Amino acid sequence: MRKESFDFLEKYLNTHSPTGFEKDGQKVWLDYIRPYIDEYFVDTYGTVVGVVNPEAPYKVVIEAHADEISWFVNYITKEGYLYLRRNGGSDALIAPSKRVIIHTAKGPVRAVFGWPAIHVRKVEQDKAPTVETIFLDCGASSAKEVEEMGIHVGSVVTFEDELMTLNEKYLVGRALDNRVGGFMVAEVARKLKEEGKTLPFGLYIVNAVQEEIGLRGAEMIAHKIQPDVAIITDVTHDTQSPMYEKKTSGDIHCGKGPVITYGPAVQNNLRDLIIGAAQEADIPFQRAAATRATGTDTDAFAYSNAGVASALISLPLKYMHTTVETVHEADVQHVIDLIYESLLRIEDGHDFRYFK
């Protein structure tokens, strides 16, 4: 990965962008893609769209989501401890002893998820942490002191962890789900620009908000753009580490390439175009099967408007919704290359219908 790209990825991943509060990360993303687009727009809730060939009637979307799981302050005790509720799929099990940032109008406030010491617990009676039992300690000794720090019910909380590398080939951190997707679609835009490719359609590079609470940003922006085609990228579970059941979760490996999904929301002809692009360009790929839905923004685009030909290219990831989400750098590059090669094979007015 070139240094400028890694520097962007690091800055973007380390910028906190909780669901509903994605503004800071979206600004970082937009600043990076500006040289590679003709224009951009931002919708009411913060989804950012970079556009190439904005006058073209046929519209193709490449999309990722920008938000990360987080917490809301829900209750403040008289002693100054904070109880929370989820904002997205935050995991109470991993919280004890983690460091966090509480985002306030006065600026960031650091805090920790406290937990009683093993010495004072009856370990044989231990139960897994739950949202009802975990709590934050921000160093205050009263509710009044908490208030003076700028913290109130509704203050949003994110984990503090930042990007690191493992064994010179894995990227590790919080919010890889799915800001690494935003990085990848931005790199596609850069590659198209720097290699002088002229597309016969309008390309809409979308970084959507609020996926973690139900694909909401994608729902809104799909209706605004009204695209003809949408290629979505998100993360999916690597199933090689302990505690995965391959019979139900599939056999997906970090390091073996992008994952192409089969399922009702995936338009078969578009999916086959992507598979053909991978085969022709010698890009390794894996396959996965969805059930009723993919659980990604693919579903929001596919069923929007009068129906949009949509497909999903996923990045294998270990330890989803933890602070050590892990992806293989080679897979990241292969997803970029696969989206790029797929775009080069879409024609102006491409008709993906199964029959006429």
Distance (Å, rounded) from C-alpha 323 to C-alpha 29? 21
Is 31 marked within a binding site? no
- Both tokens of residue 204? 């809409």
Selected catalytic residue, list 68, 187, 211, 341: 211
CB 14 within 8 A of CB 163: yes
H or E element in which residue 7 lies: helix 3-14
Tens digits of residue pLDDT in 190-217: 999 999 999 999 999 999 999 999 999 9
Query: d(Cα 189, Cα 184) in Å, to the nearest integer?
Result: 9
- Which residue in this structure is represented by tokens 């089969």? 262
Distance between CA atoms of residues 93 and 15, nearest Å: 24
Query: What does the pLDDT read at residue 156?
Result: 98
Residue 234 in marked binding region: yes
The pTM of the full predicted model, rounded to 2 decimals, is 0.96
What is the DSSP pairing of strand 309-317 with strand 229-237? parallel
The enclosing H or E element of 286 equals strand 286-289
pLDDT at 105 (0 to 100): 97
Give the burial string for 72-109 (b: 16+ CB within 10 Å, else e).
bbeebeeebbbbbebbbebebebbeebebbbbeeeeeb
Q: Are 199 and 52 in contact (CB under 8 A)?
A: yes
Which residue would you say has higher pLDDT here, 291 or 270?
Answer: 270
Tokens of 198: 């002229």
Check: CB of residue 227 under 8 Å from CB of residue 308: yes
Average pLDDT score over residue span 320-340 = 98
Tokens of 121: 């617990």
Q: E strands along 94-201, which residues?
A: 99-104, 107-114, 135-137, 156-159, 164-166, 170-173
What pLDDT does 330 receive?
Answer: 98
Three-class SS state of 250: coil
pLDDT at 41 (0 to 100): 98
Crossing angle of helices 176-194 and 3-14, rounded to 10°: 150
| Mean pLDDT, rounded, of the chain | 97
DSSP designation for 273 = H
Strand partners, 52: 203
Q: Is there a binding annotation on residue 65?
A: yes
Known catalytic residue: 211? yes
Tens-digit pLDDT profile for residues 16-66: 999 999 999 999 999 999 999 999 999 999 999 999 999 999 999 999 999
Is 177 annotated in a binding site? The answer is yes
User: pLDDT at position 315, please?
Assistant: 98
* pLDDT tens column, 73-103: 999 999 999 999 999 999 999 999 999 999 9
- Nearest 10 degrees: CA dihedral of 135, 215, 61, 273? 100
> Among candidates 297, 275, 276, which has minimal Cα distance to 227?
297
Average pLDDT over residues 222-243: 97
Using 50, 70 and 90 to split pLDDT, how confident is the model at 325?
very high
pLDDT score, position 79 = 98
Closest CA to 82 of 150, 19, 162: 150
DSSP string, 147-158: HHTT--TT-EEE
pLDDT of residue 208: 98
Domains of the chain, start order = 3-68+174-344 (3.40.630.10), 71-159 (2.40.30.40)
Residue among 136, 156, 151 at smallest CA distance from 20:
156
Residue type, 352: F
Distance (Å, whole) CA 23 – CA 135: 27
At residue 265, the pLDDT reads 97
